[in-house]
Amino acid sequence: MYARIQALPSGLGVAPLNSELWTLWTMAPDDAAQEMLDDGMEAMRLGDFGYATLRLEELIDYCPNYAEGYNQLAFVHYLNLRFEPALARLKEAEVRSPNHTGVLTGMALTLIGMGREDDAQDPLRRAVALNPWLSERALLVEPPGQDL
């Protein structure tokens, strides 16, 4: 999928490919895990962060190798400005899915939220290397004497 994204001459055709990636990432290992993920994501969408946290923690306990459970729980923490637990969950997601651009950009945004802009550059660069059309590319800081 990333090869197809990288081969695009512009970002105009990237939306359907990004959508396919998210479909893959949010495809849980079984029906029970899918229900927990869907419940957590819907609760988050509705602003019920307590229930979202509960369901996503249940998902992590049930499916500890499924990266998206950690990623979505990190997003709940991020929305609540709880950057330390968000970063911890993102690191766990990254171990399970090191090329997940959502995890990498989430990590970068969390680090920026913590005031650690310099530390955010590595995950941002890794994400942009996978998908050069990410909107978060605008957050990259050019090293002196180099163009992005």
What's the CATH code of the domain at 69?
A: 1.25.40.10
Own/partner contacts of 145-148, CB < 8 Å, gap of 24 or more, are none
Give a yes or no: residue 103 inside a domain.
yes
Q: What domain count does the chain have?
A: 1
CA nearest 2: which of 131, 100, 104? Answer: 131
Give a yes or no: residue 147 inside a domain.
no
| CB proximity list for 101: less than 8 A, separation 6 or greater | 21, 127, 130, 131, 134
pLDDT 10s digits, 32-86: 999 999 999 999 999 999 999 999 999 999 999 999 999 999 999 999 999 999 9
Residues 116 and 95: their CA atoms lie apart, in Å, by: 21
Give a yes or no: residue 16 inside a domain.
no
- Residue 20: DSSP 8-state: H
Give a yes or no: residue 114 inside a domain.
yes
Q: Is residue 144 scored above 60 in pLDDT?
A: no
Give a yes or no: residue 47 inside a domain.
yes
Q: Is residue 92 scored above 90 in pLDDT?
A: yes
Structural domain boundaries enclosing 69: 27-134
Give a yes or no: residue 100 inside a domain.
yes
Give a yes or no: residue 7 inside a domain.
no
Q: How far is residue 86 from each of residues 30, 33, 103, measured CA to CA in Å?
A: 25, 21, 11
Give a yes or no: residue 79 inside a domain.
yes
Q: Is residue 146 scored above 70 in pLDDT?
A: no
pTM of the model: 0.92
